[in-house]
Amino acid sequence: MPLQNRVTPTGEIIAMPHRGLFTGNRGIIHDPATKTLLKKRWSSPAWIVCLCEFRGWRRPVMARRSWTELFFLDEATAFAAGHRPCFFCRRDDAKRFRVAWETGNSASGISAKAMDAVLHRERLDRGKKRLHALPRPLVELPDGAMVQQGDDCFLVAQGRTLLWSPAGYAPHSSALDHPLLLTPPSTLRAIIAGYQPVLHPTARS
């Protein structure tokens, strides 16, 4: 059986066989003896997105009392859930994200801890996923933004909205009448300012 360590755009952690392009964590939220999640879904406000491979290191998943390995379809999914690039294994990407975040949010000299504090307010509402009104029409959102309507999540890419699933994205024909923004507003402004999230190959098919 697959472990419960796959993150959806709404921030939920589900059990699915597909691991996706990235790993990451929210601190220690599992029991290594059973490899199952605890009741809490985060133990640190630093929610990060990491490389699945780095310097040839291999981590046995959920096997020790260290950070809990989570997996994301792509960076857009991780951003929608409220994560940001890791300053250790993805240092160059994290630095580019910080520059874009500062530009988009009219900030300077921002620390990772300060970004995490803003993201934590934007991603959660009483422990549940916080949704936001669209700051501009759906067709004007940048590639990599994610929205939700009903129970479905959608990626904006190349002027289209694509339906998210754990295996990838798929076209859909229904119009989105009242979508809400999943991507935290500060991250969206970083994307608008020039940071380009890594998208799953199905977003281009």
Residue-level pLDDT, tens digit, the chain, 205 residues: 899 999 999 999 999 998 899 999 999 999 999 999 999 999 999 999 999 999 888 888 999 989 999 999 999 999 999 999 999 999 999 999 999 999 999 999 999 999 999 999 999 998 899 999 999 999 999 999 999 999 999 999 998 999 999 999 999 888 899 999 999 999 999 999 999 999 999 998 7
- Check if the beta carbon of residue 56 is closer than 8 Å to that of residue 79: no
Write the DSSP string, the chain.
---EEEEPTTS-EEE-S---SEEEESS--EETTTTEE-S-S-SSS--EEEES-STT----TT-SSSPPPEEESSHHHHHHHT-EE-TTTTHHHHHHHHHHHHHHTT--S--HHHHHHHHHHHHEETTEEPPB--SS-GGGSPTT-EEEETTEEEEEETTEEEEEETTEEE---S--SS-EE-S-HHHHHHHHTT------GGG--
Q: How far is the C-alpha of 185 from the C-alpha of 161, rounded, in Å?
A: 18
The C-alpha R_g of the chain, in whole angstroms, comes to 16
Using the Cα atoms of residue 167, residue 200, residue 23 and residue 38 in order, give the sign of their dihedral: negative
The encoded tokens of residue 37 equal 């999640």
Report how far apart, in Å, the C-alpha atoms of 89 and of each of 53, 64, 74 are: 9, 20, 16
Reported residue count of the chain is: 205
Tell me, rounded to whole angstroms, the distance of Cα 191 from its chain centroid.
13
- pTM for the structure as a whole: 0.96
